Structure 1
Amino acid sequence: MTDLINAADNFLLQLFKEKLPNTFTYHNYTHSKRVFKSVNEIIEGSEVSAAEATILRLSALLHDTGYIHTREGHEEESVKIATKFLKDQNADQTIIDGVAKCIMATKFKDTPKDSLEEIIRDADASHFGKDYFQEASEFLRQELQLQEIEEFSPSDWREENIKVLSEKHQFYSDYALKNWQKVKESNLAELLKSRKKDKKKRKKEELKAQLKAKYKDASPERGIQTFYRTALRNHIKLSDIADTKANILLSVNAIIISLVLSNLLSKLDSNPYLVLPSAIFVVSSTITMVLAVIATRPNVTRGEFTKEDVKNKSVNLTFFGNFHRMELSQYQWAIEELLKDRDYVYSSLTKDLYFLGKVLDRKYRILRWTYTIFVIGIIISIISFGVSFAVFDPGGIEQVVSESIVPEA
């Protein structure tokens, strides 16, 4: 019978090597050999006849051969493959029938009817009572995923294993109950412990998230900081816009005055009627430039403070004009005092925001007058030039304009 067992082993190895897809990470040659080893373990610890031992060993090796054809109903296919192999090996009909009966007993939903069916059933599920349970279980999860049968997350797979170990599976043979049940319970305990640990961790994270959200909603700190940050950024941006507008006016009017002085001034001796329009033009541009300079002219304060100012919270330490003349050590001390008092910090930011607003108000009021004078001056100048040419030199307007635009060589 040993030769028949060895032939079955070689047949199984070659069959799986040639026809079993690589996606079978659990139901493969390694699994069959584990079942074979578990069968031998039960046989050695139980009263089993030689013929029965042969049937059990052959069943252990051949019970999953049907996976080369199908997953659902693989037991029936395994019976067909085992029957053909054993007939080719001239095995006794009693052995063939016994192997077929044991293979069909590996169906998880069926209840074993005799001791041989109990042994093969226990051997097939022996990994539940072994130290390599987690490894074998993970291989089965990967197999289900690779074959797109069902995809379990690690936590879902753990729950599935807990359900199988605690509700669906049981050992039947005396040997398995005596030697593997304890390890099975230990594996179940590890799964329950892992679930409890994850549940505790998840609960802790949820509580942390709730407290964080509650603190965020209850505390106005973030909203206050956002307000000051946004307001100060907007004020600074508006100040930059005002400076840009003033610089544009300065550049434009500087060009205008340069063109007037270089081209139009030389024509005033022969065309005295152009003096008044030119004067209006130059004066309006000059006033515009002066106002633009005033709008951008910095105003620096005395840059000093006393300890009493800091203690009375009357100095704004966020503005450089209040401390640029102080020693570094004095400024550091003042900042430390500022940071000790939350209200003082917000008070300083409020003052900074307020005075930035006052500066912006001054800039934009001056700019408004600057643009108004510039526009009015341009309009009046153009009207004056038109009236002067119409009254004093009706036919020479085109010549003067062309000469003003294109200087003489």
Structure 2
Amino acid sequence: MSDLISKTENFATDLLVNKLDNNYLYHNLRHTQRVVKSSKELLQHYNLNEKESNAIILAAWLHDTGYTKGTQNHERASCEIAKEFLSQQDCSEKLINNVCALIMATERGHEPTTLSEEIMRDADSSHLGQSSYADTSEMLREELSLLGIAEMSPKAWRKANIKMFQTEHRFYTDYAKTNWQEGKDDNLNKLVKKLKKANKTRKKEELKVKLKNQSPERGIQTMYRVSMRNHLKLSDIADTKANILLSVNAIIISLLLTNLIPKLDNPSNDYLIYPTGIFVLFSIASMVMSVLATRPNVTSGEFDKKDVENKDVNLLFFGNFHKMKLQDYEWAIQELIKDQTYVYNTLTKDLYFLGVVLDKKYKLLRWTYTIFMVGIILSTIAFFVALKFYGPERIIELPT
């Protein structure tokens, strides 16, 4: 009989490894091995005869092979597979029927009538009392999702498990009640605690959202914050563009000064003077405009108490207070935060003048790119005209 159990183990292992869909994350070889292990643990406690014990072990190995044919009626499919395999091993009809009866005992809702069926039922659900239950349960939830059977959120899955623990499942054997029930109760308590914690967290989040929605100050602050951030990003973009153009023109002028301009003192290169001059002139103009676009404005950096009392000064811009004493500035800020209207007026002024600066930057930047583009076009045309009409009879390759 040990040879038959070994063959059954090899048969079930091969079937579940090579024929089972990879989406079965729970009902796979690991689950079958766990059921076999739990069955042996129960059989060590109960004094069943050899035939009954062997039938239970065979059923444990074969009880989920039906999943290789689909999820519907997998117990019956497992019975068919078991009958075909055991018949090939010349097993008696009584043993085959016993194995099939034990496989069908794992069907949901079935009430066992014999000790063997109770052992089979408890072995199949032994994971409910194990410390690895949380991971095993998550595997089952993912499996149901992948197979398109059920799509459940963690919260809904937790509720379904609590219901199953409390009303749908129980251990039948005395051994399982003594040794596994405590682990099952611990897992149930963990589920209940997680559900309470999730509900508490959800209520807090709902309250936060409600308070945020009821407070108009939140929306006003968000408006100012987003507007300021967008304006500062636009300012950074403008400075970056100006710096790029400044660097490009600096490189161009450096190349001209080192390679082309020193050769203009040769009479044979006189025809290049005007094109080079146009090129240099527009490059310098672009550089000047780039510097103007990025050059900071210097302000007085001072205010007096009258300005604060009349709310005429923007205390959030460093240019208005960088020369003031710390205690004077602290007093001014305290006056500012006392009056909410003053705060919003100050933010509005800060936003407005930032927009004015951006307008100046982008106008200068537009003119800078226009000058650079026109200069490139005109100088290129001038070089071609000079080479065509005023250059030497044979084309001299320009130095690089």
Query: What CA deviation, in whole Å up to 9, does each residue of 1:98-153 have, x standing for no partner?
Result: 10111111101111111111110111111111111112111111111111111111
Tell me the equivalent position of 1:250: none
Aligned residues: percent identity? 37
Using a 3 Å threshold, how does the CA distance of structure 1 residues 138 and 315 change in structure 2: closer, same or farther? closer
Distance 2:345 2:87 in 1: 97
Offset at residue 327 of structure 1 (A): 8.4
Report SS of the residue matched to 1:193: helix
How far the C-alpha of 1:315 sits from its partner, in A, is 6.7
Contact 2:122 2:176 in 1 (8 A): yes
Are the counterparts in 1 of residues 102 and 117 from structure 2 also a CA contact under 8 Å? yes
Query: Structure 2 matches for 1:131-146, cutoff 5 A?
Result: 131-146=131-146
Of 306, 314, 326 in structure 2, the residue corresponding to residue 318 of structure 1 is 314
Amino acid at match of 1:176: A
Distance of 2:191 and 2:81 partners within structure 1? 37
Amino acid at match of 1:316: D
Alignment match of 1:337 (pick from 320, 331, 341): 331
Partner of 1:59: 59
Change (3 A) 1:328 1:11: same
Please give the alpha-carbon distance, in whole angstroms, between the structure 1 residues aligned to 2:9 and 2:222: 77
Q: 1:6 & 1:224 partners in 2: Cα distance? A: 70
Q: CA RMSD in A?
A: 3.4
Return 5+ residue gaps in structure 1 as ranges: 234-301, 355-409
Distance in 2 separating the partners of 1:117 and 1:352: 77
State how 1:353-364 maps to structure 2 within 5 Å. none
In structure 1, C-alpha distance between the alignment counterparts of 2:110 and 2:53, rounded to whole Å: 22
> Unmatched 5+ residue regions in structure 2?
232-299, 350-400
Partner of 1:358: none
Q: Which residue of 2 aligns with 1:168?
A: 168
Q: Does the 8 Å CA contact 2:301/2:322 hold for their aligned counterparts? A: no
Instruction: State the match for 2:377 in structure 1.
Output: none
CA distance in structure 1 between the partners assigned to 2:181 and 2:187 by the alignment: 10
Q: Does 1:77 align with 2:77?
A: yes
Matched pairs, number? 275
The 3 A distance-change label for structure 1 pair 195 and 2 is: same
Contact 1:317 1:348 in 2 (8 A): no
Write the distance in 1 (CA, Å) between the matches of 2:47 and 2:63. 22
User: How far apart, in 1, do the equivalents of 2:100 and 2:322 lie?
Assistant: 99
Alignment of 1:116-265 (within 5 A): 116-214=116-214, 216-217=215-216, 219=217, 222=220
Alignment match, 2:260: none
TM-score by length of 1: 0.60
Specify the alignment match of 1:48 in structure 2.
48
Deviation at 1:337, TM superposition (A): 2.1
Query: Using a 3 Å threshold, how does the CA distance of structure 1 residues 29 and 327 change in structure 2: closer, same or farther?
Result: closer
Query: CA separation in 2, counterparts of 1:19 and 1:220?
Result: 58
Provide Cα deviations, 1:353-408, integer angstroms capped at 9, x if missing partner.
99xxxxxxxxxxxxxxxxxxxxxxxxxxxxxxxxxxxxxxxxxxxxxxxxxxxxxx
Q: Distance in 2 between matches of 1:149 and 1:199?
A: 26
Deviation at 1:197? Answer: 1.1
What CA distance in whole angstroms lies between the structure 1 residues aligned with 2:151 and 2:222? Answer: 48
SS of residue in 2 equivalent to 1:152: coil
